[in-house]
């Protein structure tokens, strides 16, 4: 039934497998399953006490597995090295990912923006499905096993864990993730292993993350969420980012889906210096409509103080900040406000200003930008161009995407391709035997 690859190599005090996958996250689990499907003996080494620790917290515990968009649209959502991902995505696309989970009794649903989630809203169902598949395919999963070194002598890799146990194999798949949310186990170990094999590391930086702002009035808005606003990030007169959505103010700056996405777009530029953020608080209203709206509010409150005339227009937390920025005395009677002052107020509502100064750290970043240079990896197999038999999968590589399920799609596709390629390269048979499996 199971076709084992030959050429197993045993080293003293260790056990031997044909393919070793390091890292039991999304990419590693998928890689192990795809390799095992080819009939190879697969050993999966994971440092944590359980598989897929990061997967548990994806999509706020619901796991946005992938996106149901047309497959070619995925590439528009990959921010770095989209072309490198062609082979992987077309080998194992978003619809195949969905089929895999559905065929394995994990029904999915599609929400706004094509985001795909398990019907149960439990990320744990996604992990359980993968873990079951690994069991079915007889993948040898070792938990609590942190790899500390990977070396190669002749045609054999030697993988040593922190308890000095050494495993050997003819192929190794590195799927150790990036640096984001290090508490989930991704602490960049794979970067070191790859660098020791001569691979180049593109400096990892946090992305899809909240940002710091300069102005002292921003922390006063802490906890305030603005829905349906328009955020623009400007470099001088040049617009770098312009989108609608939800923005959250925090004690240090700005966050929320709108700003997380912005962080991916402006990432390289913000590392070089501050950028201007301009928020349109009333994007649904034209200039005339906004002017009429304010006139109406002012008319109704004409004998009130300015500070008591904005409650219809703005959330309470925002009012003192807006008043401060407008320069209008809060005690002034509304009927004393001049046309110029009203115009200036409108200008602030249209362009609520802040200065972006940097990113929050890896502890809060959804993904890592940077990683192993993709020019040194074969895009059609995920095998290293430097070291035969060494493969890469997932966030460890210099590939990242926007929110919406695209980062997990990168993990599934690259994991699948790495496992498939390593498994097929391990075949001694001329005709690779495809095992019957939920992944196809
Ligand atoms: C809060 C949060 C929410 C997210 N939500 C989504 C979402 O809904 N949709 C989406 O598409 N993406 C989401 N992402 C991004 C997505 O989770 C990652 O892109 C994806 O998990 C990367 O998979 P990976 O397997 O490459 O890396 P990881 O998931 O980081 O897995 C790497 C594994 O390797 C193990 N490991 C590391 N070093 C060693 C070692 N030396 N020895 C043994 N094992 C080791 C780690 O313990 C870990 O289990 C989210 C990320 C975060 C942080």
- The tokens describing 257, both together, are 């889906």
| Binding site membership of 179 for ligand 1 (Cβ less than 6 Å) | no
Tell me the CA–centroid distance for residue 348 and ligand 1, in Å. 41
Atom of ligand 1 minimally distant from the CA of 365: 53
What is each CA distance from 77 to 72, 111, 292, 409, 436, in whole angstroms?
A: 10, 17, 39, 11, 32
| Binding site membership of 408 for ligand 1 (Cβ less than 6 Å) | yes
Atom of ligand 1 minimally distant from the CA of 184: 47
Q: Which residues are CB-neighbours of 16 under 8 A, at least 6 positions away? A: 8, 9, 10, 167, 168, 169
Nearest CA to ligand 1 atom 49: 25
What CA dihedral angle connects 179, 180, 181 and 187, to 10 degrees? Answer: 0
User: What pLDDT does 440 receive?
Assistant: 40
Q: For a substitution probing ligand 1, which of 61, 185, 382 has the most ligand atoms within 8 Å of its CB?
A: 185
Q: Which architecture, in CATH terms, is 18-205+367-423?
A: 3-Layer(bba) Sandwich (3.50)
Nearest CA to ligand 1 atom 52: 366
Q: Which architecture, in CATH terms, is 210-360?
A: Orthogonal Bundle (1.10)
Tell me the CA–centroid distance for residue 312 and ligand 1, in Å. 44
Q: For a substitution probing ligand 1, which of 24, 127, 186 has the most ligand atoms within 8 Å of its CB?
A: 186
Could you tell me if 175 and 418 are in contact, meaning their C-beta atoms sit under 8 angstroms apart?
Answer: yes
User: What pLDDT does 426 receive?
Assistant: 63
User: What pLDDT does 425 receive?
Assistant: 86
Q: Which residues are CB-neighbours of 179 under 8 A, at least 6 positions away? A: 186, 187, 188, 204, 206, 362, 365, 368
Given a cut of 70, the residues of the chain with pLDDT beneath it are: 1-17, 426-440
104/438 Cα distance (integer angstroms): 7
Three-state SS letters, 232-292:
EEEECCEEEEEEEEEEEECCCEEECHHHHHHHHHCHHHHCCCCEEEEEECCCCCCHHHHHH
| Binding site membership of 323 for ligand 1 (Cβ less than 6 Å) | no
| Binding site membership of 221 for ligand 1 (Cβ less than 6 Å) | no
In the numeric block, the tokens 């030697």 are attached to 158
Tell me the CA–centroid distance for residue 217 and ligand 1, in Å. 35
User: What pLDDT does 437 receive?
Assistant: 34
Q: For a substitution probing ligand 1, which of 121, 166, 175, 177 has the most ligand atoms within 8 Å of its CB?
A: 177
Atom of ligand 1 minimally distant from the CA of 178: 30
Nearest CA to ligand 1 atom 46: 185
Tell me the CA–centroid distance for residue 395 and ligand 1, in Å. 7
User: What pLDDT does 428 receive?
Assistant: 52
| Binding site membership of 77 for ligand 1 (Cβ less than 6 Å) | no
Tell me the CA–centroid distance for residue 381 and ligand 1, in Å. 21
Tell me the CA–centroid distance for residue 62 and ligand 1, in Å. 15
| Binding site membership of 321 for ligand 1 (Cβ less than 6 Å) | no
Q: In what order do the strands lie in the sheet with 147-153?
A: 147-153, 156-161, 166-169
pLDDT in tens, 315-356: 999 999 999 999 999 999 999 999 999 999 999 999 999 999
Tell me the CA–centroid distance for residue 186 and ligand 1, in Å. 7
400 DSSP assignment: E
Strand 253-255 to 367-372 pairing:
unpaired
User: What pLDDT does 302 receive?
Assistant: 86
Tell me the CA–centroid distance for residue 318 and ligand 1, in Å. 37
User: What pLDDT does 427 receive?
Assistant: 66
All structural domains of the chain with their residue ranges: 18-205+367-423, 210-360
């Amino acid at each position: 039934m199971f076709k084992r690859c030959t050429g197993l190599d045993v080293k003293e005090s260790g056990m031997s497998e044909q393919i070793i996958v390091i890292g039991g996250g999304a990419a590693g689990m998928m890689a192990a399953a795809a390799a095992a499907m080819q009939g190879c003996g697969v050993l999966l080494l994971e440092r944590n006490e359980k598989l897929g620790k990061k997967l548990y917290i994806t999509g706020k515990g619901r796991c946005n597995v992938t996106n149901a968009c047309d497959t070619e649209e995925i590439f528009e959502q990959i921010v770095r090295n989209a072309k490198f991902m062609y082979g992987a995505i077309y080998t194992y696309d978003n619809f195949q990912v969905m089929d895999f989970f559905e065929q394995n009794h994990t029904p999915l649903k599609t929400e706004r923006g094509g985001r795909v989630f398990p019907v149960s809203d439990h990320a744990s169902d996604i992990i359980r499905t993968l873990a079951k598949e690994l069991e079915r395919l007889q993948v040898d999963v070792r938990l609590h096993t942190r790899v500390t070194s990977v070396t190669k002598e002749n045609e054999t890799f030697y993988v040593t864990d922190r308890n000095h146990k050494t495993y050997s194999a003819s192929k190794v798949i590195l799927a150790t993730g990036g640096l984001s949310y290090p508490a989930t186990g991704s602490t960049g170990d794979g970067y070191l292993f790859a660098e020791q094999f001569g691979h180049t590391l593109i400096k990892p930086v946090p992305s899809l993350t909240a940002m710091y702002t300069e102005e002292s009035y921003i922390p006063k808005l802490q906890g305030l969420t603005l829905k349906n606003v328009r955020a623009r990030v400007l470099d001088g007169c040049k617009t770098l980012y312009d989108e609608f959505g939800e923005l959250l103010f925090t004690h240090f700056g700005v966050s929320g889906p709108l700003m997380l996405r912005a962080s991916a777009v402006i990432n390289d530029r913000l590392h070089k210096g501050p950028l201007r953020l301009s928020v349109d608080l009333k994007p649904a209203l034209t200039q005339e409509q906004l002017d009429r709206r304010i006139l109406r509010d002012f008319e109704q409150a004409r004998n009130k103080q300015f500070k008591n005339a904005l409650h219809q227009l703005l959330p309470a937390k925002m009012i003192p900040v807006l008043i401060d920025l407008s320069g209008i005395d809060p005690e002034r009677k509304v009927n004393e406000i001049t046309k110029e002052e009203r115009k200036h107020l409108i200008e602030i509502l249209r362009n609520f200003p802040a200065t972006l100064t940097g990113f929050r750290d890896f502890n809060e970043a959804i993904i890592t930008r940077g990683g192993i240079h993709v020019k040194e990896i074969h895009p059609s197999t995920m095998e290293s161009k430097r070291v035969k038999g060494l493969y890469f999968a997932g966030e460890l590589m210099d590939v990242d995407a926007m929110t919406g399920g695209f980062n997990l799609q990168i993990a599934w596709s690259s994991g699948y391709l790495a496992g498939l390629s390593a498994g097929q390269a391990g075949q001694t048979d001329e005709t690779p035997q495809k095992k019957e499996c939920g992944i196809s």
